Amino acid sequence: MTSNKPQVVGWIGLGSMGLAMAQNVQRFLQKDTKSQLRFWNRTASRGAPLELLGGIGCESIAQLVTECDLIFISTSDDAALNGIIDQMLAVKYIDGKLFVDTTTVHPNTTKETDEKLKKRNASFVAAPVFGATPAAQSGTVLMAMAGPTQAIDKIAPFGKGVIARDVMIVSDQPEKATLLKTLGNFIVAGAMEIVGEAHVLAEKSELGADMLEKLLELNFGMMYSSSARMTQGVYMPEEGQSPLSNLNLGIKDVQHGISCAKDVGTRLRVAEVALENMVRARDFSDAHGGRPLDSSSGYGIIRQDAGLDFENTFVKERDTRKENGPS
């Protein structure tokens, strides 16, 4: 084991993203150091895939923090992170330990977390990731790191080539990494709003989705992936399927961007429009039995406002096939 690598590594939080990243870390540990990742999750059964890889489950956050030198965190939102940090701070000795948060939270939450841990002589790095679950599984997310240089050096072996395809070193202030992630989320939400509006115009004017999508593929790069989430029905997963990117978390992310802009005296007007449509999509979900929707489902609201159904042709045909079953 290299001298700058902590002896015992822990992971807290095994949602779809957290589990995928933790599995990659465990594979790396076994290959490179023959050590085993400690992990904890509120629902213990989520750790079964890690146990199959040789990971060791802990009964509590306190046990994990006590046993580990480096602790990664991956949770859903600000409130969940605050709850985890409170339990960590309840551990008697955390001096010299390094905590790394991969969660997308408000930069103010990151700053407060850093201040709390500094008071206990612990180090903190914010390391949010860009990408959905499939990218986390393949280790091809992009990671942004911000915090003390010495701390970043310690976790560098777990970044590029293990958790991520590449790592951006942002600042020595942890909150700058989550600010960058917030800006990234704003760009994604804005792209989905623009592409959704364009698709509705193409459909209403009888240009057609295929022609617009071909233009996006050939000339507008990242816009193509936003388009595919609409034309291929990702925005409204079929019954029983989980969304690629949860709508409620997407709403939280866009709200963070709007808040950050307000704090410095500016506005993200496109984000405000996108947020309104996302909130209305959540209302649509609630009115239809809580059917899970993707964060791109504001597209369905744009459709409704133009006199179209929330469901596009692809979704209607897909759901009809499922209802009818195999012929």
User: Looking at the annotation, which residues are catalytic?
Assistant: 181
Q: What are phi and psi of 2, to 5 degrees?
A: -70, 155
- Closest residue by Cα to residue 17 from 64, 97, 75, 71: 75
Q: What angle do CA 285, 75, 232 make, to 5 degrees?
A: 40
- Closest residue by Cα to residue 285 from 250, 322, 321: 250
The conformation of residue 170, written as its DSSP 8-state character, comes to E
Listed in sequence order, the DSSP H helices in the chain are 16-32, 48-52, 61-67, 78-89, 107-118, 133-138, 149-155, 175-204, 209-219, 223-231, 247-263, 269-287, 298-305, 313-324
Q: What 3-state DSSP class applies to 232?
A: coil
The conformation of residue 326, written as its DSSP 8-state character, comes to -
Alpha-carbon distances, residue 46 vs 12, 128, 327 (angstroms): 11, 21, 36
Listed in sequence order, the DSSP H helices in 205-268 are 209-219, 223-231, 247-263
Instruction: Kindly give the pairing relationship between strand 141-146 and strand 129-130.
Output: antiparallel
On whether the CB atoms of residues 186 and 254 are closer than 8 A, the answer is yes
The conformation of residue 142, written as its DSSP 8-state character, comes to E
